[in-house]
Amino acid sequence: MGFARFYLTAPGILVADDPSRVVTVEIMGQRYPIRSALDIEYITHLANYVDEKIQTATEHSTGGDTVRIAVLAALNIADEYFRARATEAHLGENLQERASEIEQLVDRALDQFS
């Protein structure tokens, strides 16, 4: 089994020809060599998460087609990712609004002492 041309180097970042170490993970009973500079525990955690998502998709799927199950798992992971991003953006907006309100309060307080 050969290695892919792209390697995981950081969350969400793939680069070509990374000379880092190889970590073997297991997903759906298959072993996959992953070349990465990331922490071995983190890579294993990612693989376990993907495996769990695939197992969940398998439990909720009527067909046993591996590609179909992998696509369903990928869609579930993408859904979680986009929901988390939306929540983070919403929290950032709330924080920005609150900071603006505090800035206005400080400005008013300083105006009183001027």
Tell me which residue range forms the domain holding 79. 6-113
Instruction: Classify residue 98: in a domain, yes or no.
Output: yes
| CA dihedral sign, ordered 60, 64, 67, 68 | negative
Confidence of residue 3 (pLDDT cuts 50, 70, 90): very low
* Alpha-carbon distance values, 4 to 11, 18, 36, 87, 113 (Å): 17, 11, 12, 34, 66
Structural domain contains residue 1: no
The 10s digit of each residue's pLDDT in 54-81 is: 999 998 888 778 888 999 999 999 999 9
- Report DSSP state, residue 60: T
The count of structural domains within the chain is 1
The overall longest dimension of the chain from CA atoms, in Å, is: 74
Torsion sign, CA atoms 36, 26, 44, 82: positive
